[in-house]
Amino acid sequence: MRRLMLALLVTVTTLVAAPAAATAQPSATAQPVATGAGTPTDPVVVATAGSGKRAFFGDIIKLHNGRLLAAYRESVAHIDQDGRIMVVESRDQGRTWSNPRLAIDTAIDDRDPKLAQTRDGTVLLSFFRTDWTGYPPGPVTLVGTFVARSTDGGRSWSEPVEVGTAMEGPSTVVVGAYYAGHAATHGPIVELPNGELLVPLYGRLPEGGTAPATVVRSRDGGRTWPKETESTIGRAADLDFQEPNISVLRNGSLLAILRTSINVAYVSWSHDRGRTWTTPVSTGLPASSHHQLVLHNGDVLLTYGDLSGRFGPGRPTAGRILERPERTIDARRDVLIYDAVIHGPATTDQANPSSVELRPGRYFTITSDPHIAAIVGVYTKKRDYR
């Protein structure tokens, strides 16, 4: 059982069921937000979890009006039924942050929030739900992937709608700790030039087998996600594809980077708006729970949890800039952005980074620190990656 729990901590990011409250409310456990210099040894504290809880899976976007909006999961543990999604905002480039507001909270675990803003200003929040009832010793039920919409910059949210997928369906097959027949998400929704939206998924078909990565399309601004629009990024016979992230590149192609069950990132491209994808190939990069940000000049800032040990034990947050993302995710240099070891022992229960470009060549990356129960932020510059 101990071995199974450790495996879950390294590889899982999980869902929830039941609709969320339509209007965000202040957190009953909100605490004052401290600030730092935003360096690897003196990070900005973006959000502190309430008493007895921890903060996980932070995601951040820069809104059209310049404000920063961040979402994260608050829970007593990485694996627990009480997971809920909180949001905070900053009006001064990430130096100070508001008290947390409740965005999504149901009777089961709401997990892995991801944010996106469309050209018309709508903010989309995608996440998934997990029901831990009976675990352990029984299997876990992954309930589905959901999308909520906000037209007021993340202050209130619509009733979440479920994303359709061929992966979801009744199943008695158990793979690892989970029932098969489920889909999760760990990458933000992207908007195509024609206004269509894509949400990346990963999961397990009802019959079991290895885990594919897919995208599902919305043609109505995220109000519906028909499973008939689903396209497969990749499926392999000997490994699972997990946590796909997608970027719309300057030349119009799409870049998908995928975490895998062998802890090596794979990469795939689409040249027809996500309908078909190249066969995913290994990059050799030991990246985990990564994030992709397209920069103003067309480069991509890739941040990830590093599992190589080159920056130290555990899973510290590292990053690189991709200067030819249409062809490769190779880079001149990888840099250490943050390691929670400054506040405690090395741990794999960190990273899950996300970044924004504050101005050309100036970036702000958030990540989790389990030792201080917080989401923290670090500033970097383009020259740091050179």
What is the C-alpha separation between 297 and 71, in angstroms, rounded? 26
Identify which of 102, 101, 117, 119 has the alpha carbon closest to the alpha carbon of residue 153: 117
334 neighbors 318 (Cβ within 8 angstroms): yes
Structure tokens at 322: 């991709």
Q: Let me know if 383 is exposed, middle or buried by CB neighbors in 10 A (0-12, 13-18, 19+).
A: exposed
3-state secondary structure of 8: helix
Edge-to-edge strands, sheet with 362-369? 44-48, 374-381, 362-369, 351-359
Which residues of 49-106 form beta strands (DSSP E)? 54-62, 68-75, 84-90, 101-104
What Rg value do the Cα atoms of the chain yield, rounded?
Answer: 19
CA–CA distances in Å: residue 236 to residues 165, 169, 241, 253, 281: 18, 21, 8, 23, 10
> Cα torsion for 168, 171, 175, 178, to the nearest 10°?
70
| CA-wise closest residue to 363 among 351, 380, 375 | 380
Angle in degrees, CA 212, 213, 214, rounded to 5? 120
pLDDT at 262 over 80: yes
- Pair 170, 181: CB distance under 8 Å: yes
Between 35-39, 107-111, 170-174, 345-349, the lowest mean confidence (pLDDT) is in: 35-39
Give the phi and the psi of residue 351 in degrees, each rounded to 5: 70, -130
Q: pLDDT digits over 147-195, tens only?
A: 999 999 999 999 999 999 999 999 999 999 999 999 999 999 999 999 9
What pLDDT digit, counting tens, does each position of 69-120 carry? 999 999 999 999 999 999 999 999 999 999 999 999 999 999 999 999 999 9
- Tell me phi and psi for residue 142, to 5 degrees: -85, 120
Q: What is the pLDDT of residue 36?
A: 75
Q: What percent of the chain has pLDDT over 70?
A: 91
Q: Which residues contact 359 (CB under 8 A, 6 or more apart)?
A: none
The yes-or-no verdict on residue 250 having pLDDT over 50 is yes
Dihedral sign (CA 345, 38, 366, 336)? negative
Q: Which of 210, 129, 212, 100 lies closest to 165, judged by CA?
A: 212
Q: Is the peptide bond before 193 cis (omega within 30 degrees of 0)?
A: no
Lookup: tokens for 150: 């906000």
What is the per-residue pLDDT across 370-380, written as a single tens digit (0 to 9) for each? Answer: 999 999 999 99
Question: b/e string for 148-178 if b means 16 or more Cβ within 10 A?
Answer: bbbeebbebbbebbbbbbbbbeebeeebbbb
What is the predicted pLDDT for the residue at 132?
Answer: 98
Confidence band for 27, pLDDT divided at 50, 70 and 90: very low
How many whole angstroms separate alpha carbon 195 and alpha carbon 198?
10
> Does the structure show a pLDDT above 70 at 22?
no
3-state secondary structure of 309: coil
pLDDT exceeds 60 at position 19: no
How confident is the model over 55-68, as pLDDT tens digits?
Answer: 999 999 999 999 99
Residue of 44, 112, 106 whose CA lies nearest to 289: 112
pLDDT at 34 over 50: no
Exposed e or buried b per residue across 4-19, where buried means at least 16 C-beta atoms within 10 angstroms of its C-beta: eeeebeebbbbbbbee
pLDDT at 31 over 50: no
Q: Determine phi and psi for 2, rounding to 5 degrees.
A: -60, -40
The residue whose two tokens read 């022992």 is: 345
Q: Please tell me the predicted confidence (pLDDT) of residue 35.
A: 55
